[in-house]
């Protein structure tokens, strides 16, 4: 991965420190209550986050009819699952799914700002908002994917989907090899937000075990 998109511990740490300082100041000035902060954090820990998207993807992997329904009418398909309330609330309006498969790979960007389907992917990473990523994602998606460690074959079509306030896209990545017989819960544990953005592939359980070892 290029330095532009490489995970940056120092930058993340600095951002986290600024957030904590701002939070403390707002609480001190009475603008924000500590209970409000806890409510927001709790929302993203239990209601809106990539754990929802992972469950949706896992269901699509094991149920072809659901997968087709998800692609044709994403909100209605999601509504059939036992997921937290508010999946179509703030930042989740008009969500739509696209699926990777033979001969096609999908990439999600937002050329205008950072529109993102928070209910299924959580909060967007800092690089998703980067103007360079947004511009290059449109102009040279294959190069961007290569830098993320996702080389795309020459005969594979790369489709770039531009999220906006009117429609917020996410990807159903391909099911990895070596997952036959796995439960939906186990499959969901393999799915990452990056895979649902199209900038990563879902690793097989064997490769995950090797990396952990």
**Could you report the per-residue pLDDT of 129-166, keeping only the tens digit for each?**
899 999 999 999 999 999 999 999 999 999 999 999 88
Asked whether the beta carbons of 149 and 155 are under 8 A apart, the reply is no
Q: Tell me which residue of 146, 163, 128 sits closest to 201, measured CA to CA.
A: 146
Q: Distance between CA atoms of 93 and 70, rounded to whole angstroms?
A: 15
CATH architecture of 50-212: Alpha-Beta Complex (3.90)
Q: Is 113 a catalytic residue?
A: yes
Average pLDDT over residues 187-200: 97
Question: Which sequence spans correspond to the domains of the chain?
Answer: 8-46, 50-212
Residues in the chain: 213
Is 210 a residue whose pLDDT tops 80?
Answer: no
Q: Could you tell me which residues are annotated as the binding site? A: 110, 113-115
Q: Is 164 a catalytic residue?
A: no
Q: Distance between CA atoms of 39 and 212, rounded to whole angstroms?
A: 34
The overall average pLDDT reported for the chain is 81
**Could you report the per-residue pLDDT of 160-179, keeping only the tens digit for each?**
999 998 899 999 999 999 99
Name the active-site residue from 2, 15, 113, 209: 113
Is 14 a residue whose pLDDT tops 80?
Answer: no
Asked whether the beta carbons of 136 and 143 are under 8 A apart, the reply is yes
Q: Tell me which residue of 54, 99, 101, 108 sits closest to 81, measured CA to CA.
A: 54
Q: Tell me which residue of 101, 83, 110 sits closest to 167, measured CA to CA.
A: 110
Residue 8 binned pLDDT confidence (cut-offs 50, 70, 90): very low
Q: Distance between CA atoms of 91 and 161, rounded to whole angstroms?
A: 17
Q: Is 209 a catalytic residue?
A: no
pLDDT recorded at residue 156: 97
Q: Could you tell me which residues are annotated as the binding site for Fe(3+)? A: 110, 113-115
């Amino acid at each position: 991965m290029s330095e532009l998109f490489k995970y940056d511990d120092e930058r993340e740490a600095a951002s986290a420190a600024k957030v904590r300082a701002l939070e403390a100041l707002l609480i001190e000035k009475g603008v924000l209550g500590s209970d409000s902060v806890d409510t927001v954090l709790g929302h993203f820990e239990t209601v809106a986050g990539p754990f929802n998207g992972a469950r949706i993807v896992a269901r699509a992997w094991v149920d072809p009819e659901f997968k087709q329904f998800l692609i044709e009418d994403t909100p209605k398909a999601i509504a059939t699952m036992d997921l937290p309330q508010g999946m179509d609330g703030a930042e989740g309006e008009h969500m739509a799914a696209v699926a990777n498969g033979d001969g096609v790979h999908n990439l999600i960007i937002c050329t205008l700002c950072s529109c993102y389907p928070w209910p299924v992917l959580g909060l967007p990473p800092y690089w998703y908002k980067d103007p360079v990523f947004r511009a290059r994602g449109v102009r040279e998606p294959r190069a961007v994917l290569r830098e993320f460690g996702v080389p795309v074959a020459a005969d594979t079509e790369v489709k770039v989907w531009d999220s906006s306030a009117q429609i917020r896209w996410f990807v159903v990545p391909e099911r990895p090899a070596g997952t036959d017989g796995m439960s939906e819960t186990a499959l969901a544990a393999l799915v990452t937000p990056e895979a649902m953005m199209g900038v990563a592939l879902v690793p097989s359980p064997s490769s995950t075990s090797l990396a952990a070892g």
